[in-house]
Amino acid sequence: MKQTLQSILTASDAVLFPAISRNHSLNSVFCITESDVFRCNEEIAVFLQDPDFQNCLCKQDFVDVLFILKGNCTCRFYKTDLAAPLESVFLSKHSFCIIPHQVIHSFSPDPDCQILHIFFKLDSLKSHYSDLISANNMLLLFCSNMLYRTHYWNYLYFSVSYTDKLDTLLAEMYEEFHHKQIFHQNMLYYSAGMLFTLMERQSLSHICVSPSNPLRLVRYDQIYSYICDNYPMTSARTIAEYFHISQSYLCKLFHENGTTVTTVIQEIRLQQARSLLEQSDLSVQNIAELVGYHDLTYFIKLFKRYFSVTPYQYRKKYQSTKKLLQPTIT
């Protein structure tokens, strides 16, 4: 018979938060590094909140996904330093809270509160889970900003329906990390993917983030306008970085609009090239470079595919047509 998560966490050998956390100073921010938490080749770690760690200011070099299994907890967040106004968040039973790296925070749990921490290295989240988070919701936007740029939001939290499936999943993650059997990290990768999927399936309309930093959805027309202004040097990577979203989300957004990022960039570049062929005496080589193509052969090939003629043929045909249309002076 499988044990419940609560029965596992109340056992005498429960894995508390890393022992190094006890060596903190109440008058300063304690910085927890990856080496304090992760062993060699580990990218996911699972711990129970240490009671001795409450009310201590800290920040970590990794992402903390915490779950309130029992009781309640008040979390306090600071934007950049202790002089800035803090934000207090009340986390009730069966709430998740995602805390990005380098956010100063503290925990004030009730006496009977039980908190499970699932720690992720940033690279692990990028490589394994960015595609699991679907488009156009706050969970995606929060994680994208957290992973791909300096974050603007100190936290994200939401309550869930605590099902047997979720209890089993969290219990298995805890035990995999605690017992460290062969390939335990592989099992944790799989379980974490399941966890994000369950989060998605829950009602995410009650997600809350730092109130001073509201999340905004990125629209297709905003990205299209950006490409028009930056077409010579832009790419899927630079667009994703500018809008603080993952490339997988960017591709999904364009797919929903019946096209691809590469197609839109090519179309805008080639339309600009056509205008330069019509309105300037610049060489085809110079025009290709101005619109973002440094391989002349490749540019000519794309131009012909799009307009059915080469750039040289297009200019010649345009000039001939223009000359025919000019009025004759008698």
Please list, in sequence order, all residues whose beta carbon lies within 8 angstroms of the beta carbon of residue 307, skipping any fewer than 6 positions away. Answer: 270, 274, 314
Q: Looking at residue 209, what is its pLDDT?
A: 63
Distance of CA 236 to CAs 19, 290, 302, 305, 306, Å?
43, 19, 19, 22, 21
The pLDDT score that the predictor gives to residue 63 is: 92
Q: Can you give the pTM of this predicted structure?
A: 0.64
CA distance 204 to 105: 24
In this prediction, residue 141 carries a pLDDT of 65
Sequence-separated (6 or more) residues with CB below 8 Å from residue 91: 68, 72, 73, 74, 75, 97, 157
Write b or e for each residue in 28-42: b if 16 or more Cβ atoms lie within 10 A of its Cβ, otherwise e. Answer: ebbebebebbbeeeb
* DSSP one-letter string for 116-162: EEEEE-HHHHHHHTGGGS-SSSHHHHHHHHHHHSS-S-S-EEEE---
- Residues 255-289 pLDDT 10s: 888 889 999 999 999 999 999 999 999 999 999 99
Q: Which of 76-85, 167-176, 242-251, 257-266 has the lowest mean pLDDT?
A: 76-85
Rounded Cα gap, residues 84 and 73, in angstroms: 22
pLDDT tens digits for 229-258?
A: 999 999 998 998 887 777 887 888 888 888
Token pair recorded at residue 76: 């306090």
Q: What is the pLDDT of residue 252?
A: 82
